[in-house]
Amino acid sequence: MNNSVFSVKLIADSNGRPGVYNVCAVSGFNTANSMFTMPKGAEKSRPVIHKRNGLYAYIVGFHIPNDTTFYEYYEINSANNTITMRYVKSYTFE
């Protein structure tokens, strides 16, 4: 009964813009919405969500074809009844 739920959804942009994603995060009774754009040259890469060390923390990143590196890009956190979303790094692959 006292346990909070934290969920994150990524949804491709409804206008069909390549590399643009809507983010919806729910933490308990709080909901936050945001949007991020994949870096230049990585618009066709699919975003991947990884759990962070914190109980309510996720990182969105991506892989480039023929590369095993996970590129951290966007972070979603929930703490003290506040949801924060921010870019953590910037890239260009042109």
Q: What would the mean pLDDT of 56-82 be, rounded to a whole number?
A: 92
pTM for this model (two decimals):
0.86
d(CA 40, CA 25): 25
Q: What would the mean pLDDT of 80-89 be, rounded to a whole number?
A: 92
Residue spans per domain, the chain: 6-87
Share of the chain above pLDDT 90, in %: 62
